[in-house]
Amino acid sequence: MKIKLLEKTDNKVKLELNGTNPAFTNMLRRTIVQHVSVAAIDNIDVIKNTSALYNETLAHRIGHVPITYKNKMVQKENCKCKNKGCPLCEVKMVLKKSGPCTVYAKDFKSTDKDVKPSNGDIIIVKLYENQKIDLEATVVINTGKEHTNWQAAIVGYQYYPELKIAKDVKNIKDIVSACPKGLIDEKTMKLTNPEKCDFCRQCVDIASNDTVTITGDKTRHILTVETVSGTDPKTIILDALTNMAENLKELETQIK
């Protein structure tokens, strides 16, 4: 398999997988969604809340704040404390603010400096005069299989687009202009940036007598991984591949 990096940002990675098949790519997708361990807020103890938000609404907002952490944390079920809770498997974060002010994710005070919101500018709530919040959140490690709160990333893939335009086509200018993203080159009659094509088929609809076709290559995929957790997409992909290798090794052992 050949892998080409198409796009990379702090939150998203787009790869071209050449020489693959739907079974492998979908296995990678499902592993990222369900089996990559990330940190998230598991429990919130509200001591005082006189804001405009109900306790449940406030807890729901806080529960979706992405949390970054170091690899020294482990899942509670694998911890030496036997699921009782200790500094290795859970971290406390305290949020205590009085109005008038805007409360941000960066206002959390963590018992571990390496465990904190990945984006401190996320707004939690606005407090007015005489309003207060005082709460304690517990951060633990888990996977998306347990709950979507621990889903590492949003993952999707599509087949690599293959555009074919007949040489005797007469309305090439109309076909080129029909593409909403301007991806068709009039001279070469090919896609300039195939990875941006979303198979809208407007170029096909405007053509006549099947002079234009667009299909997907099942052995060539465009995979997009966008993190929704505090873990960067590169780490997520590598962890998923490690998980897949371990599971396949276990399967091999069981078969033998």
Residue 20 has pLDDT above 80, yes or no: yes
Whether 21 and 112 share a structural domain: no
Whether 18 and 48 map to the same domain: the answer is: no
* Sequence letter at residue 178: A
Residue 57 lies in a domain: yes
pLDDT digits (tens, 9 = 90+) for 172-189: 888 999 999 999 988 888
**Last residue in a domain, options 143, 178, 203:** 143
Q: Which of 143, 174, 191 is the last residue of a domain?
A: 143
pLDDT level of residue 256 (50, 70, 90 thresholds)? confident
Q: What is the DSSP string of 175-194?
A: HHHH-TT--B-TTT-SBSSG
Cα end-to-end span (Å), the chain = 27
Q: pLDDT at position 96, please?
A: 96
Output the pLDDT for position 210. 78
Domain-located, residue 61? yes
> Based on the domain organization, do 57 and 136 belong to the same domain?
yes
Cα–Cα dist 193/221, whole Å: 14
Say how far apart CA 133 and CA 98 lie, in whole Å. 7
Whether 28 and 43 map to the same domain: the answer is: no
CATH number of the domain enclosing 209: 3.30.1360.10
**157 and 90 in one domain?**
no
Half-sphere exposure of 245 (CA within 13 A, CB side): 6
What is the rounded CA–CA span in Å between residue 222 and residue 155? Answer: 11
**Predicted confidence (pLDDT) at residue 86 exceeds the cutoff of 80:** yes
Within a domain: 106: yes
Q: Which long-range contacts (CB under 8 A, 24 or more apart) does 109-114 make?
A: 110/139, 111/87, 112/69, 112/87, 114/68, 114/69, 114/70, 114/72
Report pLDDT digits (tens) over 115-134. Answer: 999 999 999 999 999 999 99
pLDDT of residue 66: 94
* Per-residue pLDDT reduced to its tens digit, 102-119: 999 999 999 988 899 999
Question: Do 105 and 196 share a domain, yes or no?
Answer: no
Tell me: do 45 and 9 sit in the same domain. no
- Is residue 254 a part of any domain in this protein? no
Instruction: Write the CATH number for 89.
Output: 2.170.120.12
Which value, to the nearest 10 degrees, does the dihedral of the CA atoms of residues 34, 39, 45, 46 take? -100
Answer whether residue 256 is part of any domain.
no
pLDDT digits (tens, 9 = 90+) for 161-173: 999 988 888 888 8
CA distances to 9, 217, 241 from 29, rounded to whole Å, are 19, 18, 10
How far apart are the C-alpha atoms of 146 and 124, rounded to whole Å?
Answer: 25
Integer CA distances (angstroms), 102 to 105, 110, 124, in order = 10, 19, 8
Answer whether residue 232 is part of any domain: no
Residues 60 and 122 in one domain: yes
> What beta strand segments (E) does 67-152 contain?
67-68, 90-98, 101-104, 109-110, 116-117, 123-127, 132-142
Domain identity same for 110 and 195: no
In a domain, 198, yes or no: yes
pLDDT higher than 80, residue 209:
no
Residues 51 and 18 in one domain: no
Same domain, 81 and 102: yes
CB of 12 closer than 8 Å to CB of 6: no
State how many domains the chain has: 2
Domain enclosing residue 184, as ranges: 2-35+153-225
**Of the candidate ranges 62-76, 141-155, 227-241, the one whose mean pLDDT is the lowest:** 62-76
pLDDT of residue 241: 94
Task: Output the pLDDT for position 61.
Answer: 92
The neighbour count for residue 14, using CB atoms within 10 Å, is: 19
* Count of CA atoms in the C-beta half-sphere (13 A) of 50: 9
* pTM: predicted TM-score of the whole model, two decimal places: 0.84
Whether residues 86 and 23 share a domain: the answer is no
Q: Is residue 88 part of a domain?
A: yes
Q: Which of 109, 143, 177 is the last residue of a domain?
A: 143
